[in-house]
Amino acid sequence: MKHILKIVAQRIALGFLTLFAISLIITFGVELLPGDLAQAILGQAATPDAVRVFRIELGLDKPAYLRYLDWLGGMATGDMGVSLSNKRQISELVGIRLSNTLFLGGFAALVAIPLALALGILAALYRNSLFDRSINLVTVTSISFPEFFIAYVLILFFAVKLGWFPGISNISTELSLGDKLYRTLLPAATLTLVCVAHMMRMTRASIINLLSSPYIEMARLKGIKPMRIILRHALPNALAPIVNVIALNLAYLVVGVVIVEVVFVYPGLGQLLVDSVSKRDVPVVQACSMIFASVYILLNLFADIISIVTNPRLLYPR
């Protein structure tokens, strides 16, 4: 047990080190600009006075390490600074959008994970059958499709031709949960299609990989039913890679939402990020990037910890 705690502690420390390194990259990326940010945004034509005022507004008159500490402290306490384009508090802009994005991602994940696991186990059980082959073909193709292609195909059929669902999913806090789910169904379906394929292939591969090992052979020779072999004998050992893939895909969901949000004009964090990039509203981009990167890293960290504590080899050391 001590052994596991040590590995987990190491992994957590590494995760926070990575977060620290990323916060450094996000803040000091600005320093790489020839000249500085104020000059770059205002352009060559700006008067020196305008640049100087803007520089003070951005805090560029202070030394870099002070700015970094200010920024980090602000991020931790929820004061993320002020947007350049509309002078509003970034925390105000981010708050509701973050919960919208998490809602969409969570919705997609709740559908995608059980579906992927079931399909993966079935494909492993009936491998090389027609079912396995056709599902393999479908997943290879859907992995290769750009998200916006899937999104537009869904819009074309379900929103325009059939008119079942709205093609633009503008949700707000006043809507009931049912209404929210209805409006986010198409974006969630797009995300599900993209990440089910990955998860399902991984589940199938890791179970098939295990099925050739001697103890499975033994179980089969004892006459245990195939379904029970997979669920009781293969799955516990395949859990670590599967959990890893699920977390990777959840992390992917958090980032993949950016494009889907733009297609469906969904009021989420991704939309805000893309808008801010085209306006070069650097403080907002920094705040959004840090949030996205943190969620991504924490999910990966979580997955690693789960795969460590569920690993039978570490749980029962010889």
Partner 1 sequence: MNNFFKILLSAPFSAKVGMIIITFYLVVAIFAPLIAPYGEYYLATPIAYEVWSSDYWLGTDNLGRDMLSRLIYGARNTLGLALTITILAFLLGGILGMTAAALGGWVDQLLSRVNDVFMAIPSLIFALLILSIFGTSIPYLIGTIVILDATRVFRIARATAMNVAVMDYVEVARLRGEKLGWVIRREILPNIAAPLLAEFGLRFCFVFLFLSALSFLGLGIQPPTADWGSMVRESSTLIAYGDITPLIPAAAIAVLTVAVNFVVDWMLHRSSGLKDVS
Q: How far is the CB of 156 from partner 1 (least distance, A)?
A: 6
Q: How far is the CB of 145 from partner 1 (least distance, A)?
A: 5
Task: State how far the Cα of 109 lies from the Cα of 184, in Å rounded to an integer.
Answer: 13
- Name which of 126 and 182 has its Cβ closer to partner 1: 126
Residue 194: exposure state from Cβ atoms within 10 A (0-12, 13-18, ≥19): buried
Nearest CA to 270 out of 102, 155, 146 is that of 102
- Name which of 107 and 252 has its Cβ closer to partner 1: 252
Task: State how far the Cα of 124 lies from the Cα of 132, in Å rounded to an integer.
Answer: 8
| Neighbour tally for 143: CB within 10 Å | 14
- Name which of 147 and 187 has its Cβ closer to partner 1: 147
Q: How far is the CB of 318 from partner 1 (least distance, A)?
A: 27
- Name which of 195 and 288 has its Cβ closer to partner 1: 288
- Name which of 180 and 201 has its Cβ closer to partner 1: 201
Instruction: Supply the DSSP string of 240-265, one letter for each residue.
Output: HHHHHHHHHHHHHHHHHHHHHHHHTT
Q: How far is the CB of 73 from partner 1 (least distance, A)?
A: 20
Task: State how far the Cα of 308 lies from the Cα of 62, in Å rounded to an integer.
Answer: 44
Q: How far is the CB of 115 from partner 1 (least distance, A)?
A: 22
- Name which of 116 and 260 has its Cβ closer to partner 1: 260
- Name which of 3 and 157 has its Cβ closer to partner 1: 157
Q: Which three-class secondary structure state does DSSP give residue 280?
A: coil
- First CA to last CA distance, the chain: 12
Residues that bind partner 1 (CB under 8 A): 18, 21-22, 25-26, 29-30, 32-33, 37, 40, 127-128, 140-141, 143-149, 152-153, 155-156, 160-161, 167, 208-209, 211-212, 251, 254-255, 258-259, 262-263, 273-274, 276-278, 280-282, 285-286, 288-289, 292-293, 296-297, 300
- The token duo for 279 is 């306006």
Task: State how far the Cα of 268 lies from the Cα of 106, in Å rounded to an integer.
Answer: 13
| Half-sphere exposure of residue 213: CA atoms within 13 angstroms, side-chain side | 14
Contacts of 166 (CB under 8 A, 6+ apart): 159, 183, 186
Q: How far is the CB of 42 from partner 1 (least distance, A)?
A: 13
Q: How far is the CB of 293 from partner 1 (least distance, A)?
A: 6
